[in-house]
Amino acid sequence: MTVSKKIFLIKSVIHVIALGLLISQYYLAIGDQLGGDPVKAIIHFTGIGAFNLLLITLTVTPIAQRFKLGYLMQVRRLLGLYAFTYASCHLLSFIAFDLQFEWQLIIKEILERPYITIGMLAFLWLVPMAVTSIGVIKRKMKSRWQKLHYGNYIIVTLVAIHFYWSVKSELIEPGLYIVITFVLLWLRKDRIHKIFTK
Protein backbone atom coordinates (compact mmCIF):
# COMPACT_ATOMS: atom_id res chain seq x y z
CA MET A 1 0.00 0.00 0.00
CA THR A 2 1.37 3.41 -0.95
CA VAL A 3 1.92 6.13 1.65
CA SER A 4 -0.87 8.28 0.20
CA LYS A 5 -3.32 5.38 0.48
CA LYS A 6 -2.26 4.74 4.08
CA ILE A 7 -2.84 8.39 4.96
CA PHE A 8 -6.23 8.34 3.21
CA LEU A 9 -7.23 5.20 5.09
CA ILE A 10 -6.16 6.59 8.49
CA LYS A 11 -7.96 9.89 7.87
CA SER A 12 -11.09 8.01 6.78
CA VAL A 13 -11.05 6.00 10.02
CA ILE A 14 -10.62 9.22 12.03
CA HIS A 15 -13.61 10.80 10.27
CA VAL A 16 -15.81 7.76 10.79
CA ILE A 17 -14.95 7.36 14.48
CA ALA A 18 -14.75 11.01 15.58
CA LEU A 19 -17.71 12.32 13.60
CA GLY A 20 -19.76 9.15 13.98
CA LEU A 21 -19.46 9.11 17.77
CA LEU A 22 -20.30 12.81 18.02
CA ILE A 23 -23.42 12.50 15.85
CA SER A 24 -24.60 9.34 17.60
CA GLN A 25 -24.19 10.93 21.03
CA TYR A 26 -26.34 13.93 20.13
CA TYR A 27 -28.86 11.60 18.49
CA LEU A 28 -29.11 9.66 21.75
CA ALA A 29 -29.43 12.92 23.68
CA ILE A 30 -32.29 14.12 21.48
CA GLY A 31 -33.98 10.76 21.92
CA ASP A 32 -33.55 11.00 25.71
CA GLN A 33 -31.46 7.82 25.77
CA LEU A 34 -28.51 9.05 27.83
CA GLY A 35 -29.85 8.22 31.27
CA GLY A 36 -31.24 10.44 33.97
CA ASP A 37 -29.03 13.45 33.21
CA PRO A 38 -28.52 13.74 29.43
CA VAL A 39 -27.12 17.27 29.73
CA LYS A 40 -24.33 16.12 32.04
CA ALA A 41 -23.72 13.10 29.78
CA ILE A 42 -23.32 15.13 26.58
CA ILE A 43 -21.15 17.77 28.25
CA HIS A 44 -18.88 15.09 29.70
CA PHE A 45 -18.72 13.16 26.42
CA THR A 46 -17.72 16.17 24.32
CA GLY A 47 -15.26 17.39 26.94
CA ILE A 48 -13.50 14.07 27.43
CA GLY A 49 -13.61 13.54 23.67
CA ALA A 50 -11.77 16.82 23.10
CA PHE A 51 -9.20 15.88 25.74
CA ASN A 52 -8.69 12.42 24.23
CA LEU A 53 -8.16 13.90 20.78
CA LEU A 54 -5.64 16.42 22.11
CA LEU A 55 -3.70 13.61 23.79
CA ILE A 56 -3.84 11.45 20.65
CA THR A 57 -2.51 14.41 18.67
CA LEU A 58 0.45 14.64 21.04
CA THR A 59 0.95 10.87 20.81
CA VAL A 60 1.39 10.91 17.04
CA THR A 61 4.88 12.45 17.03
CA PRO A 62 6.59 10.03 19.45
CA ILE A 63 4.98 7.04 17.70
CA ALA A 64 6.01 8.33 14.27
CA GLN A 65 9.58 8.89 15.48
CA ARG A 66 9.87 5.61 17.41
CA PHE A 67 8.57 3.39 14.60
CA LYS A 68 9.78 5.55 11.68
CA LEU A 69 6.27 6.22 10.39
CA GLY A 70 6.74 9.77 9.20
CA TYR A 71 3.51 9.80 7.22
CA LEU A 72 1.55 9.74 10.49
CA MET A 73 2.52 13.37 11.00
CA GLN A 74 0.08 14.26 8.25
CA VAL A 75 -2.93 13.27 10.35
CA ARG A 76 -2.16 15.57 13.28
CA ARG A 77 -3.99 18.50 11.69
CA LEU A 78 -7.18 16.47 11.30
CA LEU A 79 -7.00 15.21 14.87
CA GLY A 80 -6.42 18.74 16.11
CA LEU A 81 -9.42 20.06 14.19
CA TYR A 82 -11.62 17.34 15.63
CA ALA A 83 -10.33 18.21 19.09
CA PHE A 84 -11.45 21.79 18.42
CA THR A 85 -14.81 20.54 17.13
CA TYR A 86 -15.42 18.49 20.27
CA ALA A 87 -14.27 21.38 22.48
CA SER A 88 -16.67 23.73 20.67
CA CYS A 89 -19.53 21.27 21.17
CA HIS A 90 -18.53 20.94 24.83
CA LEU A 91 -18.70 24.70 25.36
CA LEU A 92 -21.88 25.18 23.31
CA SER A 93 -23.62 22.31 25.10
CA PHE A 94 -22.73 23.85 28.46
CA ILE A 95 -23.95 27.30 27.41
CA ALA A 96 -27.11 26.05 25.67
CA PHE A 97 -28.30 23.16 27.81
CA ASP A 98 -26.91 23.92 31.25
CA LEU A 99 -27.00 27.73 31.32
CA GLN A 100 -29.66 28.19 28.60
CA PHE A 101 -27.91 31.16 27.02
CA GLU A 102 -28.29 33.34 30.12
CA TRP A 103 -25.28 35.54 29.38
CA GLN A 104 -25.03 37.17 32.79
CA LEU A 105 -24.91 33.71 34.35
CA ILE A 106 -22.37 32.57 31.76
CA ILE A 107 -20.03 35.46 32.59
CA LYS A 108 -20.56 34.87 36.31
CA GLU A 109 -19.70 31.18 35.95
CA ILE A 110 -16.53 31.96 33.97
CA LEU A 111 -15.35 34.53 36.51
CA GLU A 112 -16.30 32.75 39.71
CA ARG A 113 -15.60 29.08 38.98
CA PRO A 114 -11.85 28.44 38.54
CA TYR A 115 -12.30 25.21 36.58
CA ILE A 116 -14.54 27.00 34.07
CA THR A 117 -12.08 29.91 33.88
CA ILE A 118 -9.25 27.48 33.09
CA GLY A 119 -11.40 25.65 30.56
CA MET A 120 -12.34 28.88 28.81
CA LEU A 121 -8.68 29.94 28.63
CA ALA A 122 -7.83 26.60 27.03
CA PHE A 123 -10.63 26.99 24.48
CA LEU A 124 -9.71 30.56 23.61
CA TRP A 125 -6.13 29.44 23.02
CA LEU A 126 -7.41 26.57 20.88
CA VAL A 127 -9.29 28.92 18.54
CA PRO A 128 -6.22 30.48 16.83
CA MET A 129 -4.65 27.01 16.68
CA ALA A 130 -7.62 25.78 14.67
CA VAL A 131 -7.81 28.87 12.45
CA THR A 132 -4.11 28.75 11.59
CA SER A 133 -4.38 25.10 10.60
CA ILE A 134 -5.74 26.32 7.28
CA GLY A 135 -3.04 25.75 4.67
CA VAL A 136 -2.94 29.29 3.27
CA ILE A 137 -2.63 30.87 6.72
CA LYS A 138 -0.02 28.33 7.80
CA ARG A 139 2.17 29.16 4.79
CA LYS A 140 1.86 32.90 5.37
CA MET A 141 2.83 32.59 9.02
CA LYS A 142 6.00 30.59 8.23
CA SER A 143 8.09 30.09 11.39
CA ARG A 144 5.54 31.92 13.54
CA TRP A 145 3.11 29.05 12.92
CA GLN A 146 5.28 26.56 14.78
CA LYS A 147 5.78 28.96 17.67
CA LEU A 148 2.02 29.43 17.99
CA HIS A 149 1.36 25.70 17.89
CA TYR A 150 3.76 25.05 20.72
CA GLY A 151 0.78 26.34 22.68
CA ASN A 152 -0.54 22.77 22.47
CA TYR A 153 1.57 21.98 25.51
CA ILE A 154 -0.07 24.73 27.55
CA ILE A 155 -3.56 23.91 26.28
CA VAL A 156 -3.36 20.24 27.22
CA THR A 157 -2.06 21.21 30.68
CA LEU A 158 -4.95 23.64 31.19
CA VAL A 159 -7.43 20.99 30.05
CA ALA A 160 -5.97 18.46 32.50
CA ILE A 161 -6.41 20.97 35.34
CA HIS A 162 -9.92 21.85 34.12
CA PHE A 163 -10.92 18.18 34.16
CA TYR A 164 -9.42 17.53 37.59
CA TRP A 165 -11.02 20.58 39.18
CA SER A 166 -14.41 19.88 37.58
CA VAL A 167 -14.74 16.46 39.21
CA LYS A 168 -16.08 16.49 42.76
CA SER A 169 -15.59 12.77 43.37
CA GLU A 170 -14.07 9.73 41.63
CA LEU A 171 -10.72 11.40 41.08
CA ILE A 172 -9.10 8.27 39.62
CA GLU A 173 -10.06 9.08 36.02
CA PRO A 174 -8.84 12.72 35.98
CA GLY A 175 -5.75 11.61 37.91
CA LEU A 176 -4.99 9.06 35.20
CA TYR A 177 -5.39 11.72 32.53
CA ILE A 178 -2.97 13.97 34.40
CA VAL A 179 -0.41 11.15 34.43
CA ILE A 180 -0.84 10.57 30.68
CA THR A 181 -0.51 14.31 30.04
CA PHE A 182 2.65 14.45 32.15
CA VAL A 183 4.21 11.50 30.29
CA LEU A 184 3.49 13.02 26.87
CA LEU A 185 4.96 16.36 27.94
CA TRP A 186 7.96 14.64 29.56
CA LEU A 187 8.73 12.99 26.22
CA ARG A 188 9.12 16.54 24.90
CA LYS A 189 11.01 17.90 27.90
CA ASP A 190 14.06 18.98 25.88
CA ARG A 191 11.95 20.83 23.32
CA ILE A 192 9.78 22.44 26.00
CA HIS A 193 12.90 23.52 27.89
CA LYS A 194 14.28 25.22 24.77
CA ILE A 195 10.96 26.96 24.08
CA PHE A 196 10.60 28.49 27.53
CA THR A 197 14.25 29.34 28.11
CA LYS A 198 14.85 31.31 24.92
Res 198: pLDDT: 64
Res 192: pLDDT: 83
pLDDT for residue 195 is more than 90: no
Q: How many domains does the chain have?
A: 1
Q: Looking at 71-171, list the stretches that DSSP marks H as alpha helix, in order from N- to C-terminal side.
A: 76-93, 103-112, 114-131, 135-141, 143-149, 152-166
Res 53: pLDDT: 98
**What is the model's pTM?**
0.94
For residue 83, what are the contacts with CB-CB under 8 A and spacing of at least 6?
A: 50, 53, 54, 57, 126
For residue 132, what are the contacts with CB-CB under 8 A and spacing of at least 6?
A: 138, 141, 145, 148, 149
Q: To which H or E segment does residue 174 belong?
A: helix 172-186
- Mean pLDDT, rounded, of the chain: 92
From residue 116, alpha-carbon distances to 32, 74, 147, 172 in Å are: 26, 32, 26, 20
**C-alpha to C-alpha distance for 185 and 189, rounded to whole angstroms:** 6
Res 1: pLDDT: 81
Res 151: pLDDT: 87
Res 62: pLDDT: 93
Res 136: pLDDT: 85
Res 137: pLDDT: 85
pLDDT for residue 168 is more than 80: no
CA atoms within 13 A on the CB side of 8: 5
**C-alpha to C-alpha distance for 122 and 124, rounded to whole angstroms:** 6
Structural domain for 104, as ranges = 3-196
Residue 150 phi/psi, 5-degree rounding, is -65, -15
